[in-house]
Chain A
């Protein structure tokens, strides 16, 4: 990246980060998710430095990019939430007729690897962020992302059947 782009992004980061955080926080109602959204916005800025720095309004460019990030985040959350709720709804009879003393863990052990399933549930239903889950479990955010994606694909396939 050219030095002048790097300098401009540094300047915008210092100036805009707290403001963009407030924008993201208002939509996501979760500090960790809001921080992730703003960081994703600056990752995009670093990937497209010319677009940002040559924009007549770089601050506005960042806000618009953040809007897209927020809309993708909310869409992903809604999809994951719907998948889980659909899955629970379609399997509710299994739970109600079950007289065994088996726990949910055994009941759903074919859904996905249990830890992965818990991660999806924590994100979709409890509104936790990847960062929070990674810290809780002592794994990297990337690993957390991978596990959730794997479980989501598994669940989607399962529901389509």
Chain B
């Protein structure tokens, strides 16, 4: 596994332990950010993916 991918996975791994409600809250907070304010896209995609996987299960 490339080093940067490994770092990314470690960085976002804490999201796996969070509850669905907590992850949804993070997405809500991002959605309510003012226009022009940068989002952490990698983190967002990771959270969305976790939620989508949980819905499938």
Known: A18-B52, A18-B55. Is A23-B41 also a contact (CB below 8 A)?
no
Whether A19 and B48, one on each chain, are in contact in the complex, defined by CB atoms closer than 8 angstroms, is: yes
Interface residues on A, range: 10 to 19
For A130, what are the chain B residues with a Cβ–Cβ distance below 8 Å? none
Task: Tell me whether A81 is interfacial, beta carbon within 8 Å.
Answer: no
Whether A26 and B28, one on each chain, are in contact in the complex, defined by CB atoms closer than 8 angstroms, is: yes
Residue from A63, A70, A71 in contact with B44 in the complex, judged by beta carbons closer than 8 Å: A63
Nearest-Cβ distance from residue B52 to partner chain A, whole angstroms: 4
Closest chain A residue, CB of each to CB of B27? A26
Whether B31 and A27, one on each chain, are in contact in the complex, defined by CB atoms closer than 8 angstroms, is: yes
Task: Tell me whether A40 is interfacial, beta carbon within 8 Å.
Answer: no
Task: Tell me whether B19 is interfacial, beta carbon within 8 Å.
Answer: no
Q: How far is the CA of A20 from the CA of B55 in the complex (A)?
A: 13
Task: Tell me whether B9 is interfacial, beta carbon within 8 Å.
Answer: no
Nearest-Cβ distance from residue B13 to partner chain A, whole angstroms: 18
Residue from B44, B55, B56 in contact with A23 in the complex, judged by beta carbons closer than 8 Å: B44
Whether A19 and B28, one on each chain, are in contact in the complex, defined by CB atoms closer than 8 angstroms, is: no
What mask results when residues 18 to 57 of chain B are scored 1 for a CB within 8 Å of chain A, else 0? Answer: 0000011101100110000001010011011101100110
List CB contacts (< 8 Å) of A67-96 with chain B. 67, 70-71
Q: How far is the CA of A60 from the CA of B38 in the complex (A)?
A: 11
Task: Tell me whether A59 is interfacial, beta carbon within 8 Å.
Answer: yes
Task: Tell me whether A36 is interfacial, beta carbon within 8 Å.
Answer: no
Whether A20 and B48, one on each chain, are in contact in the complex, defined by CB atoms closer than 8 angstroms, is: yes
Q: How far is the CA of A84 from the CA of B11 in the complex (A)?
A: 46
Closest chain B residue, CB of each to CB of A22? B51
A-contacting residues of B (Cβ < 8 Å)? 23-25, 27-28, 31-32, 39, 41, 44-45, 47-49, 51-52, 55-56
Contacts beyond the supplied A18-B56, A21-B52, A67-B31: 5 A-B pairs with Cβ under 8 Å = A18-B52, A22-B55, A57-B41, A59-B41, A63-B41
